[in-house]
Chain A
Amino acid sequence: MNETTPAPVAAVPAPKKTPAPAGGGAPREEPAAETPLKQRLAELVQRQGVLAVLLAVILVASFVYPTFATLDNARGVTVQASFLAVVALGMTLVIITGGIDLSVGSVFALGGVLAAWASQWGFFTALLVPLVVCGAIGLLNGFLIARAGMAPFIVTLATLLAARGLLLALTDEGATTYLVPKDSVFAELGQGSVLGFGYPLLIALVLFGAGGVLLQRTSFGQSLFAVGGSSDAAGLMGLPVARTKILVYTLSGLLAGLAGALNAARLSSGVTIVGVGMELDAISAVVIGGTLLIGGAGSVSGTLWGVLLLAVIQNLINQIGSLNSSYQSVVSGGFLIVVVVAQRYLARSRRTT
């Protein structure tokens, strides 16, 4: 080795080391070939495991229940699922940054009421008003979390209450229900369809496509992973941590508001009692979809499969008919346990390699 300083002490036992040939012998990581394969397999299972389960459930159900694999049923299931999907998309992004957004259920309901109320002035106000207000709630969440350094769980719990309160204030404590004008363009947005598939579904799919590109192929997406993986490191690498967080909560608020507006358009009215507990459904879908609740890893496609899986389970239980509809939550809860426990063991096996 080169002795860079002629310090007498340093000249002591020149270790009988063969200087590694340049480029050759340096710290080659553990057997480089084998581990990544195992690793990728584990990752694949984690990422696409839900898809496999979803396909299996659909396959079995199609054989057992002839009414399941019909186009009509598919349309019904997917439109139902598309609202939760849009909310869960925002939740996915938030959870990837290591946060959580409990306010989405209330914001969803608020968005619906605002849209129905504003629809009397036309299509654009019907969309714009809920987006602005819900986006502002998201912004407030983000600001309190990122700038004031408060825990996401508690901040969004508070805005859950506040958004519900705002909704009640708007509707004379729930007594008034705003109706969307019949045959308006806005109502068409919720009820119209292409090839029998409703606009809400198409919008949800487009949003998931955009969300996937945003997450995987843009710097903003990378910074979401970085903030969730290690917020300190992200800050030291010059990423705008606070701004990223504020943006992601704003996005979540916007998406929840949009989903609410679409739902109102579909139902032709701003129903005040929707969205209770929706945040937890969304979190379930995200977690089932393989996104880590601690942040730093996840995908929007997994969330899509998670939402669909929940919707298919619900549909199947309705199909079975003889079963009490309460079984749906039992099965969903069971799935959740299985998925998170499996995730846990996969993560553990990955770490030890």
Chain B
Amino acid sequence: MTQATLTPAPAPAPARPLARLRDPAWYQEYGVYAAVAVLLVFNALFTEHFMTADNLRTQLVQVAPIVIVALGMALVIGTEGIDLSVGSTMALAAALLPLYLGYGLVPGLVVALLAGAVVGAVNGTLVSLIGLQPIVATLALFVGGRGIALVMADGQLKQIINPDILALGTGSFLGVPLVVLIAGVLAVAVAFLVRRTTFGRQIVAVGGNRSAASLAGLPVTRVLMGVYILCGVLAALAGILATARLTASDPSSLGTLMELSAITAVVVGGTPLNGGSIRVLGTVAGALLMQLLRATLVKHDLPDSTAQIAQAAIIIAAVYVARERRSR
């Protein structure tokens, strides 16, 4: 150990073009983009009506809520945490939205987003102040959050008739659906947050070594709180958008298993679960990859069962590649 650290790691050998394909680090870095590209090329060649504007738009609209949730999840995972409550948060936002839409669009949106912030604040408090493990801390609201949503909505599906909200779900700007546009803007914003802001770098530092960050005077508690609140707000936003697209508030099923999809997107995108690094673009690509994979299989008349098994295989492969990298 001491010996091994004495000399800096030897510089990588001059790369021959094919040599790096054998380097696991390359896969962790670019594997997810390559996989997305391969899928697109495959579909362009072998799938009819895949590379059409209509189909691509559908795929993007479907993946948008997952991307939004996964962005928040990536931040949380960057602090060596996890947030299981995102699906319940979506349901909570969906349940609250119709209750306050009567007061107008803005109050409805604000209350729904606020609910996400509150969920995040509770999670953040449990994790940062009480010091619970993130899995347990967020498990509580995973279990209870949807219950609260159902209690508030009286367990019922509510039709949404507010035209502004509906426009949010179906409208488009310059041919790009608003939902996709929002997800895209958020992805850029989160990428900027992570790379260029003090807060973003502090997130990564806290995830990389919490006690060192604390001794360096970083506001660890505030950073953790902020991250969980952001994740909650993003999940709530995803809930609002999904509700708008459904034209109905359905707290009993909206966002079920969303935590798993989001975690999958983050992990497949190359963000390690043990914190200290956040790959925003990778996360977006991870969500896209899973979406395209499913769509491809469906278009080729392969059943859902195959899609799930294929997803499982991709997750395993992604983590396996990450593991290679870490053990070096």
Show the binding face of A for B, using Cβ within 8 Å: 100, 144, 148-151, 153-155, 157-162, 164-169, 173, 276-277, 280-281, 283-284, 287, 293-294, 324-334, 336-337, 340-341, 344
Contacts of A276 in B (CB 8 A): 256-257
Asked if residues B150 and A326 are in contact (CB atoms below 8 Å), the reply is: yes
Asked if residues A157 and B273 are in contact (CB atoms below 8 Å), the reply is: no
Residue contacts A-B, CB under 8 angstroms, 6 given: A157-B315, A160-B312, A168-B305, A324-B155, A327-B151, A336-B139
Name the one of B131, B142, B154, B315 contacting A161, with C-beta atoms under 8 angstroms: B315
Contacts of A100 in B (CB 8 A): 135
Contacts of B312 in A (CB 8 A): 158-162, 165
Q: Does B241 contact A (CB under 8 A)?
A: no
Asked if residues A168 and B304 are in contact (CB atoms below 8 Å), the reply is: yes
Q: Does B2 contact A (CB under 8 A)?
A: no
Partner-contacting stretch, out of B44-52, B158-166, B171-179, B260-268: B260-268
Asked if residues B319 and A280 are in contact (CB atoms below 8 Å), the reply is: no
* Known contacts A149-B327, A280-B142, A333-B141: A165-B151 contact under CB 8 Å: no
Contacts of B140 in A (CB 8 A): 333-334, 336-337, 340
Asked if residues A164 and B308 are in contact (CB atoms below 8 Å), the reply is: yes
- Chain A contact residues: helix, strand, loop or mixed: helix
Most buried by A among B257, B273, B305: B305
Most buried by B among A100, A149, A287, A326: A326
Asked if residues B142 and A166 are in contact (CB atoms below 8 Å), the reply is: no
State the CA gap A254–B301 with chains docked (Å). Answer: 33
| Shortest CB distance B207–A (Å) | 15
Show the binding face of B for A, using Cβ within 8 Å: 82, 84, 126, 130-133, 135-137, 139-151, 154-155, 256-257, 260, 263-264, 267, 273-274, 303-309, 311-313, 315-316, 319-320, 323, 327
Asked if residues B307 and A334 are in contact (CB atoms below 8 Å), the reply is: no
State the CA gap A341–B136 with chains docked (Å). Answer: 10
* Known contacts A165-B307, A293-B135, A293-B136: A154-B146 contact under CB 8 Å: no
Asked if residues A333 and B147 are in contact (CB atoms below 8 Å), the reply is: yes
Contacts of A330 in B (CB 8 A): 144, 147-148, 151
* Known contacts A169-B305, A280-B139, A280-B142: A340-B132 contact under CB 8 Å: yes
Residue ID in chain B nearest A329 by CB atoms: B147
* Known contacts A166-B309, A284-B139, A341-B132: A333-B144 contact under CB 8 Å: yes
Asked if residues A149 and B142 are in contact (CB atoms below 8 Å), the reply is: no
* Known contacts A162-B312, A341-B126: A173-B305 contact under CB 8 Å: yes
* Known contacts A157-B260, A340-B132: A162-B150 contact under CB 8 Å: no
| Shortest CB distance B274–A (Å) | 8
Asked if residues A326 and B315 are in contact (CB atoms below 8 Å), the reply is: no
* Known contacts A167-B305, A280-B139: A324-B315 contact under CB 8 Å: no
Contacts of A149 in B (CB 8 A): 323, 327
Contacts of A277 in B (CB 8 A): 256
| Shortest CB distance A311–B (Å) | 14
Contacts of A337 in B (CB 8 A): 126, 140, 144
State the CA gap A324–B130 with chains docked (Å). Answer: 31
Asked if residues A324 and B316 are in contact (CB atoms below 8 Å), the reply is: no
Contacts of A281 in B (CB 8 A): 143
| Shortest CB distance B83–A (Å) | 13
Name the one of A157, A165, A280, A293 contacting B133, with C-beta atoms under 8 angstroms: A293
Asked if residues A161 and B130 are in contact (CB atoms below 8 Å), the reply is: no
Contacts of B135 in A (CB 8 A): 100, 153, 283, 293
State the CA gap A260–B145 with chains docked (Å). Answer: 27
Contacts of B137 in A (CB 8 A): 340
- 8 tightest CB-CB pairs across the interface, nearest first? A333-B144, A165-B308, A329-B147, A326-B150, A168-B305, A169-B305, A162-B312, A330-B147
Residue ID in chain B nearest A348 by CB atoms: B131
State the CA gap A168–B307 with chains docked (Å). Answer: 10
State the CA gap A337–B130 with chains docked (Å). Answer: 11
Asked if residues B303 and A168 are in contact (CB atoms below 8 Å), the reply is: yes
Asked if residues A160 and B260 are in contact (CB atoms below 8 Å), the reply is: yes
| Shortest CB distance B216–A (Å) | 25
Q: A161-B312, A326-B146, A340-B140 are in contact. List 16 more A-B contacts (CB 8 A).
A: A148-B320, A148-B323, A149-B327, A151-B273, A158-B319, A165-B306, A165-B309, A166-B305, A173-B303, A276-B256, A280-B84, A283-B135, A324-B155, A329-B143, A334-B140, A337-B126
State the CA gap A149–B321 with chains docked (Å). Answer: 11
Name the one of B260, B304, B305, B319 contacting A151, with C-beta atoms under 8 angstroms: B319
Contacts of B256 in A (CB 8 A): 276-277
Asked if residues B143 and A162 are in contact (CB atoms below 8 Å), the reply is: no
Name the one of A155, A332, A341 contacting B316, with C-beta atoms under 8 angstroms: A155
Asked if residues B309 and A161 are in contact (CB atoms below 8 Å), the reply is: yes
Contacts of B126 in A (CB 8 A): 337, 340-341
Asked if residues B319 and A344 are in contact (CB atoms below 8 Å), the reply is: no
Asked if residues B142 and A327 are in contact (CB atoms below 8 Å), the reply is: no
Asked if residues B311 and A332 are in contact (CB atoms below 8 Å), the reply is: no
State the CA gap A214–B148 with chains docked (Å). Answer: 39
State the CA gap A169–B143 with chains docked (Å). Answer: 29
State the CA gap A293–B264 with chains docked (Å). Answer: 22
State the CA gap A167–B142 with chains docked (Å). Answer: 25
Contacts of A166 in B (CB 8 A): 305, 309
